[in-house]
Amino acid sequence: MKTATVVLNLTKEGHYVTLAGVTPAELLLLVAEHHANAGGKPVVELKPDATEVKREANEEVSRLMSKYAANKVFKLFPGATPTLPTDFKQAEELGVKTVLPTSKLTEVRIA
């Protein structure tokens, strides 16, 4: 699975964050979450990493659910064997067209 370092614009006012090790599936989730607030173009810069990670689709979904709100991950990747985007361009294009359920992207987990 490909990974990249991504600079995201989270708002129209220009609040930027840099994330490393982002997969196409994670990029889809981030773009879907932030494209409306970022004026339709949250990805400022994307640099593919030289290495890839070995991860099955269900492992990637589990990883995303540990980082982000489960209802949003389930909306994007439903079922026991979800189909994940394989490249970053496809992920970005799908993310802009996706409407996620309203709630916080991340959840506070109480141990």
d(CA 82, CA 58): 7
Give me the pLDDT at residue 80, please: 83
Mean pLDDT of the residues in the chain: 86
Contacts of residues 63-72 at CB distance under 8 Å and 24 or more positions apart, as own/partner, are 64/25, 64/26, 64/29, 67/26, 67/106, 68/29, 68/105, 68/106, 68/107, 69/103, 69/104, 69/105, 69/106, 69/107, 70/107, 71/101, 71/103, 72/29, 72/32, 72/33, 72/100, 72/101, 72/103, 72/105
Give the pLDDT confidence of 21-68 residue by residue, as tens digits: 999 999 999 999 888 888 888 999 999 999 889 999 999 999 999 999
Q: What is the mean pLDDT of residues 79-98?
A: 87
Give me the pLDDT at residue 103, please: 58
Entry pTM: 0.84
Structural tokens at position 91? 């992920």
